[in-house]
Amino acid sequence: MKIIHPEGWPRPKGYSNAILTEGRMIFIAGQVGWNQNEKFESLDFVDQTRQALSNILTILRQAGAGAEHIVRMTWFVADANEYNDRLKEVGQVYRDVIGSHYPAMSMLQVAGFVENGACVEIETTAVIP
């Protein structure tokens, strides 16, 4: 896996612009912040972010992969202002669960989720070399 960083561009904070890789691909459907029984234990944005990231790791482990194999994440949030206001907390939760691995990422604010009570949903692509 190679991080692509164009010369002269400022270094991105908390993500990579691009990653070059090859191998077996894992496509993880959007994970919301509920537990394995599809129950929200919290309606708090940061708590749900931690749970969604933990769900992603559980799926990766089942496939024989880990956080280091993630190449792309797309985050969907109900409230971009809350995401930005709580960015330090979100960053800490990310590092606690995923570590210091920063794949290519995008974040979008959406009008709502299928799962009533969701604050965040994260799609993930990973590649096992």
Tokens at 80, concatenated: 């971009």
Residue corresponding to tokens 């009008």: 111
Run means of pLDDT, 10 residues per run, the chain, 129 residues: 91 90 95 97 98 98 97 98 97 97 96 96 96
- If you ran DSSP here, which 8-state letter would residue 68 be given? G
Query: Is the pTM higher than 0.85?
Result: yes
Complete domains list, the chain, with CATH = 16-128 (3.30.1330.40)
CA distances from 129 to 9, 23, 43, 66 (A): 28, 4, 37, 12
Rounded distance between C-alpha atoms, residue 28 and residue 79, angstroms: 23
CA-based radius of gyration for the chain: 14
Q: Which helix (H) or strand (E) holds 120?
A: strand 120-128
Res 37: pLDDT: 96
pLDDT at 14: 86
Q: Write down the pLDDT at residue 73.
A: 98
With tokens 């561009």, the residue in question is 9
